[in-house]
Every structure is written in C-alpha cells, then in structure tokens.
Chains A and B, each alone.
Chain A
Amino acid sequence: MKLSQANLSQIYSEHLWLEISNSDLELARPNPQNYSNDTGRNYAFFNRLCLNAFLHWCQENLELEPAVFPNEEVLPMLWEFFTGCGINLYGKRLVLIPTDAIDMADFAVPQEWVDIPNLAADYYLPVQIDLENRSVHFWGFVSRSTLKAKADFDSIYRLYYVEGDWVIPNLEMLEGASNLRDEKGQVVPLTTLSNGEAENLMVKLSEPSPYSPRLKAKFEKWGALLNESRWLQQLYEIRTVGFNLSKWLDGIVEAGWQTFDEWLNAKIPAFRSKQVKGIELDSPEKIKRAVSQFRNSQSEVVVPNDIEDREALVHLLQHTHDETVRWKAAEYLWTIDPNYPNPAIRRVMDLGVQLMGHPIALMIAVLRKLDGKIAVLLRAYSMGGQTKLPPDLKLIVLDENGDPIPRLEAVSRSQPLDDYIALYFTADVGDRFSICLTLEDTTITEQFVV
C-alpha cells in the first residue's frame, strides 16, 4: 500500500499542503496563443495552478483576498519570460516559486524577482507541485535579505539558488507579516534605457525561440527593460500577439522573415529553375503558352483580351473565388517576374528548431482580396540542403482558442515524398490563428494576427 498525501501533511504539519482537482488543472491551462513558446505555456500552467490554490486557501482560511502583483493583467505576461507569482499580503510582497523537484534541498529564484526594483519582494516561498499526486506543497519562506546574503547565484542562468536550510518552514508566521521587520534590504537601481535602446533591445528579444529570451541581453539592460511596464507590455505583445500579416501588405515585416528569393538563394539553389508544378516558365514562349492555357482552364473570371500576361495573372488572382486559381496565378507571377508589383506578398521563416532532426521553413503568403478580406497561403518546406519533406509532417491551423480548424490540416506523404505541403484560407483583418507543425511527438507553434 502507498502512503497518502494526508500522511505527508501530518508529518510536515507546519507546511501547507493543498490538493489539486481536475477542474483546478483545467482552469490553469493557459490559452496557447497567450505565449510564444512552450516554455511560457509551462510557466503559465504551473504558476496559475500554484496561484489559484494559494488565493483560494487565503479566502477560505484567512478570510483574506490578497492582491495579485503586479496585477492580474501583467503577471501572466511575466510568465512569457520567467517563473514566479507576485502577491501582496499583509503589507508585504511575496513571490511564490513553483517547482516540480521532489526534494527540498534548494529552490531557484529568477534574478528578475530579486534585482529588478519594481519586482523585488519581501519574501520568497518555494512551492512543490506534484501533478502525479495532485498536490501543491508550500514549504516555507525566506526573506530577500537572507536570500541575498546566503543564496548561491548562478550567473549563467541568472538564478538565486536558496538552500532549504535557509527556508523558515513555518508559514503561519506570515499571518503576522505586518509585524515583521523590513527584510527586503536595498534594491540597487538599474540604469534607464533610452527609447532607442529599448526599441533595439526589443527587436533582438522578439526573435522567436523555444526558450525565454531572458538570457539574450545583459541583465542590466534586460532588467531595465522589464522595470518599465510599458516596455514589458510591448515586448510581450510583440512576442505573443503574433506576426501581423495585414502589415506585411503595407510593407512592414517583422524581423526573422526573409523574402522567398533570399531564402531560396541561400538554402536551396536547386530550386532556382523557373517552373511551377512541372510547367516550365523559362522563356517568353513557354510563359505565353502556359498563361494562355491557365486562362482557358477556368471559366469563372473573364480576363480582358487586350492585357499582357502579367496583368492577366493579377486580374485573375484578384477576381477569382477559387483559392487554387488565385494562388496558382500568384505563383506564376512570382516565378515569371519576381519584381513585378504583385498584390500577393510572401515571406519565409527558418523556424530555428529541428523537428526530429529535420530543419523546416515556413512560407506564408498574403493578399488583400477585393472584399477587403485577406487570403493566406501556408507552406512548409524542408531545409538544410534537403529538398523533400519527411513523411507524416503535419501542418495544422488552430483558431484563437488553440483548437484545430476543421479541414485545415495537411500531411506530407511517404510515397512520393513531397517538396512541400500547403494550406490556404481566407480571414478577416484582426483574426488570430496559430500554425502548428508536428512531426511524431514534436510540435512547433507560431502565432499570427491577420
């Protein structure tokens, strides 16, 4: 037979042990769109679980409603970057630090909660979260001054490791926290960033990455940026609101996206032959024949006879209701004359992470339709000198709640192997969606707003 959680809470009775229900787990799950990567989603999940449990316990047992710090809107933004929940209680600021370690030898506090003046707290509380046994275990607290004096600072990961010996195990003491002497100590002010410095820093920190960007800049700069709530908010939005596709049509493209030609030249020179789906377009005669056949292959749009091939293609892609026709016209145009003013903009991003060892690039093309809606084309290509995609790579579009949109899923084949897989759809300006690329059990998600 096993020991129960109740036994543990008897043995460690000065600690606070709370149970987690299925609904607690559900409530803690973040909307995937609120975070740019799984690191942020994991932080959000564990922190929300811990925060909700603590707040509920305070309400039930102390008849108190502690205030979330900085506030309910900003705290979840911090989880995009690092772990920890701020709470104001009895006139003191506490930071809960969730961890899934099973021992109490130490716990790690991100430097942001300690050395950024606007975030620094009076006390830090380690919290063990055990999902298997469905429990949240608060095992004590440590003051900031003890932390500064005794913790082992890891300069690579910028974490203060506080050994369990310094943790005061009696949480009940915090109920008299208003009588506790100030043990926050002095917080050294950080330098102030100019607007220009902040903007440059944000460009650097907004590059997509599977990890938090917190280690990409020196702490003095990073801390100064987060110390200003407007910049924190701006950086969060850049990273999570997603790439703004409507802006691409106005010529504004975020860092990290290349033009298709730049990407193609750099990565896959073999693709440079001028053809679309096997139809060669490398001489004026071949182009004329191909465009003429294309015009005649559809009857929906009447194309004036007196316009030249490239204008005919623009007319087609603007007037058709058939998305295959629209994107075929766009692709003819991109291939025939890459510099021709094309209403369809396409960009490619190297996703930077390998899916089971396969580097993948994502191409997105957008064009504004006559009714004001935006047509979107998505393609996943292989990179790293490989021309074919691995089999069973899935390209899925998720709605703003993170749910898959029916029929918007493409899967690469094993026989024959695909050069790319593609999806297309139409959206309203302002719509939010995510693109999910999955191979076996590895997934990459990128977010967009139309």
Chain B
Amino acid sequence: MPLEYFYTLPCVEEHRILWQIEPRSRRHIENLRQIIQPVNYPVNDPWEAAIAQYLFEQLRQHPEDELIRKHWMAFLLRRCEIVAKRILPLLGDRHHIGFDDLFMMASVAAIAPVQFFRNFDESRVQLGFWYPTFIRFTDIRLRNLLLPELRRETGNHMFGQSNLGLVARSSRRRVREALERSGYGNAQIERYLLAWQCFQEYTDSVNRRFNQFNGRDFQNIATRYNELNQSESSVTGSEIQTWLDNIGEAIRRLSDPPRTSLWTGFSFQSDEGRNLLENIAFETSYDEEMEENVNRLRQAIADVLNGLQEIKERQMLFLKYGLELTQGEIAEERGINQSTVSRRINELIKRILLGIWKWFNRKQETKYSPTELAEIQAVLYQDYADKIDRFVQNSISSVTEESWKLLKLFYVVKQPLSEIGNMFQRTEEEVRDRLNAILQQLCSNMLAQIQAEFNLELQPEGVAFKSIPTIVETRLERILQYLH
C-alpha cells in the first residue's frame, strides 16, 4: 500500500469512492519519510512498512492523539475498500449488496482504530515480519466483522428481527463493544453482561424459542441473576427485560449506525491546531547487527522460495498464496487428492521454516508453532500479492497509450462512461466494449506471465482461470494511480 493511504479520506458516491488528500496528514507523513529508515524485509514498499510500524507504536503510546488516530482511520478505510472489492465478485449476482454497502459495513470498524488494533501485539511477530502479519491481521479482522452483516443477507430471519434476537445471537465481545459504543459506564456494562449470560443460560434450559418468552421467563432470568450476583441489590423480571432490550438496541446501533454520524467520525478538522507529535523529532536508531539479521532473514525467504527445485512445488505455492485457492480447489485444478495437496503444502511450509531457522542460525527444531506458521503464511500471501501486482503492472504496460488513458479515466478519475465517450468521440456502448476488450487483453497477458514464470497452464473452466479477471480488476485502480 502506498504512503498516501495514510493521508487520504473517502468521498463515497453510489458505486465509487474518490479519495481526497488531507494536507496536514500528508505533511506529517512526508516529514516521517525523511527521518525513518525503511524496513529491510521483502515487501513492495519498505518505507510504507516502516512508517506503518512507527505510526502503530505511536497509536499504542498516544491513543488519544487526534492526528495519529486519523492516519489509522484513513488506513483502515483503504483496507475496507480493498476487502470490499475482493469480496464483491464472490457474492455472485443474486443479491442486493453493492460495493458501497460492503464498504460502509466494513468502515464501521475504522471509527475506533485503537479498539480495532487492540489485540495486535508483539506475540504475533515471532520471525520479524511485522508488516505482512499486520496487514493480514487487519484484513482478517475486517472480513470477520462483515460476517454478521453478510449472514443477514443469507436470510437468517432470527437475526435482526427483534432486539431479543440480536441479544440471543451475539457474542459477549460484541455485546460489550455495543454497550461501550453506546456510552454505558463500566458498572452498568458488567451488570448487563451478567444479565446477558443469565439469558443465554436460561435460553439453553427451556425447550422453546426466546421470541415466545413472557414476563415469567424474565422473572426466572432475574431469579438466576440475583442468585449469581448477591453483592448488589436484586433486580426484577421487568428490569431484566428492559436491560436485554437496551442491549439489543445497542447492538443494532453498532451494526447499523446512521451514515451521517459515521462520516462525521471520519471528517478531518480544518483547524491546523498545534500537534505535539508533529514537532517531536523522531530519531531512528541504526543498529548494524539488527540490520544484518534482517538482511539474512530476507535472503532466507528469497533463497528458499527461489530454491524450490520442483516446478510443481512453485505451482502449488502460487495457487495457494497467489490465487488464494483452497486445498480442495487446488486438488480439482491439478487433478489430485486434497490430502496430497495438504501434505505437499505442509511439507513446503516446513521446509521454508527450516530455511529461515538456518539463516537465523537458530537451533534446528522439528516442531513449530501455529503463530510462526501464520506469520510465514502472511509473508507468502504478501510475497505473492506483490508478484501479482508486478504481473498486472507489466500487463498494463503492454497496452496502447489510448487504452491506458481509457483505463485511467475509468478506474482512477472515475469518469462516467458517457463522458469518456464524449472525449473519445465514441458511444457509451463502444467505450464499454473497448474497456472489456482491454480487460481481456490484460487477463491474457497475466495468464502468459503465469505460464512463463510457473510453467502453469490453468484449466480453461477451472476456478483458478475464472479468478484472473477479478484479480486484475481489483488491482487496476491502485496500480494505475502510480503508473506513468
């Protein structure tokens, strides 16, 4: 992700988002770029990784700082856009969800970056690959936050129909977060959480649905609550009923905030108020030994990946981490058993880990931890994503100048088709056909590069082949912005 992702904010229109630069944030990032050393592990933009890590440390140390929070809001909103773009083609066409809906659903998370990154800590980065692990954490968290919203679209009638339905089917964390966002104090939140637990326990203990509950059921829940919470004065059934209703209301607000208030949360203040952090000189420490270690680590990954002798191994990794296919899909693509795919990928990962340990001069271990494994996978996902970016970049470079302009007008400037048509003296239909033809050309070029690099011919009707247009299209806007 380029550095501007830390200082641009969205302006959402129906089917597109335009990003606007926030001058104060940009100045801050430009200053940081002058004083921060880039990271030295394999990522597309080592400055971006270093600045992200610095800003993250600042967020930890100064969670209330307005400027730092805004950088992270901007970053999260960009990730929301990327995640929404990746998900949209997977939804098929039999639904009412548009890109803007997905983006809005995800962007609720960006309101509170401190809360969002609360659980990203150093225990996740055991091998030193901070940025890929961080990006993967962010994307997984955003996708996870989308699940309840997407489930609503699968016709889960229980959810969303009543406040009690929301209470019954929400996790404790979600209940807590909803209450916190609604402004309840800690003592009341603790009471509400116990009431929620008593409700869950009671629901399990009766052979009927909560939507049939009446006053006596709430009284029974209150009895249980009072039994377990003897330190405070007792509550009545009707109080419990009101509490549960309040919880439901808070969850409803959390999952569906009014859009106006959502955007107010993101707006940059125009005042150029003095910010202490901006004026603190950030001194980078240069540790030669660390630098050497990082270089060795980088080399280790590159050597292991380049050193894979078997073309089949490289194909397997590309399908898994580049095209992000499941083991079942890889098995189908390659015409082998899923258990074979599983075994081969596990062997490969193990070899990569052994290679890294060797470069680290670390004791050769026969066992590894899932956290290390997750970190290596994050690196592989990042490495292959960068590789695919290069493929797309190469493909774009191969089109004519007119095609390149057309793409840029459509994907970056986001001109409507009719206006583009006027500029090129073509009808809207002709512009659409032309864009489709260019996309097809880009896809063919991508396929040729995959064939050349991995000696991999994708099955014409297979899931890998079908994923190529989406992969190309979701990257076009980002790559076109920086291609001259």
Contact = CB atoms under 8 A, between A and B. Distances in A.
A442 B197 contact: no
Contact of A175 (B155, B346, B370): B346
A423 to B, nearest CB: 22
A38 B207 contact: yes
A447 to B, nearest CB: 15
Contacts of B290: none
Given A3-B95, A156-B228, A179-B366, A8 B154 contact: yes
Nearest to B87: A11
B154 A165 contact: no
Nearest to A46: B204
Given A8-B154, A172-B342, A13 B326 contact: yes
Contact of A11 (B94, B150, B345, B377): B150
Interface string A71-107: 0000000000000000000000000000111111111
A176 interface: yes
B319 to A, nearest CB: 13
B377 A13 contact: no
A181 B365 contact: yes
B226 interface: no
B104 to A, nearest CB: 17
Interface in A153-173: 154, 156-157, 161, 163-166, 168-170, 172-173
**Chain A residues touching B, majority SS:** mixed
B224 interface: yes
Interface residues of B, number: 77
Interface in B66-117: 87, 90-92, 94-97
Contacts, number: 191
Interface in A171-215: 172-173, 175-176, 179-183, 210-211, 215
B119 to A, nearest CB: 4
B377 A7 contact: no
Given A39-B205, A102-B148, A164 B173 contact: yes
A160 B91 CA distance: 34
Interface string B234-261: 0000000000000000000000000000
A149 B207 CA distance: 36
A356 interface: yes
12 contacts: A2-B155, A37-B205, A42-B205, A103-B147, A105-B144, A132-B158, A164-B144, A182-B367, A183-B369, A215-B228, A353-B220, A354-B216
A42 B94 contact: no
B409 to A, nearest CB: 31
Interface in B122-160: 123, 137, 140-141, 143-145, 147-148, 150-151, 153-159
Nearest to A137: B147
Interface string A382-422: 00000000000000000000000000000000000000000
Contacts of A14: 326
10 tightest CB-CB pairs across the interface, nearest first? A165-B119, A105-B173, A176-B346, A106-B173, A181-B367, A1-B94, A3-B153, A2-B155, A210-B205, A105-B174
Interface in B337-396: 338-339, 342-343, 345-346, 349-350, 365-371, 373-374, 377
Contact of B150 (A8, A163, A168, A215): A8
B201 A211 contact: yes
Given A101-B170, A165-B119, A179 B153 contact: no
Contact of A156 (B140, B145, B194): B194
Contacts of B216: 354, 356-357
A335 interface: no
A168 B148 CA distance: 19
Contacts of A371: none
B178 to A, nearest CB: 10
**Chain B residues touching A, majority SS:** helix
B346 A43 contact: no
Contacts of B95: 1-3, 7
B276 interface: no
Contact of A7 (B91, B350, B366, B369): B91
Contacts of B177: 105
B369 A180 contact: yes
B171 A104 contact: yes
The winner among B148, B173, B216, B219 for most chain A CB atoms within 10 A is B173
A370 interface: no
Given A61-B338, A103-B171, A354-B216, A12 B147 contact: yes
B346 A181 contact: no
Contacts of B118: 165
B204 A38 contact: yes
Given A182-B367, A354-B220, 6 more contacts: A3-B91, A14-B326, A102-B151, A133-B151, A175-B342, A180-B370
Contact of A166 (B119, B151, B170, B338): B119
A366 interface: no
A38 B205 contact: yes
Contacts of A63: 339
A351 B362 CA distance: 65
Contacts of A111: none
Given A11-B143, A104-B144, A165-B141, A143 B370 contact: yes
A353 B155 CA distance: 36
A352 B65 CA distance: 56
B419 interface: no
B208 interface: yes
Given A61-B338, A156-B228, A3 B97 contact: yes
Nearest to B158: A132
A283 interface: no
A367 B207 CA distance: 33
B202 to A, nearest CB: 8
A1 B96 contact: yes
A104 to B, nearest CB: 5
A102 B144 CA distance: 11
Contact of A161 (B153, B172, B208, B369): B172
A21 interface: no
Interface string A32-76: 000001110111000000000000000001110000000000000
B90 A154 contact: no
B147 A442 contact: no
B156 A133 contact: yes
A204 to B, nearest CB: 15
A109 interface: no
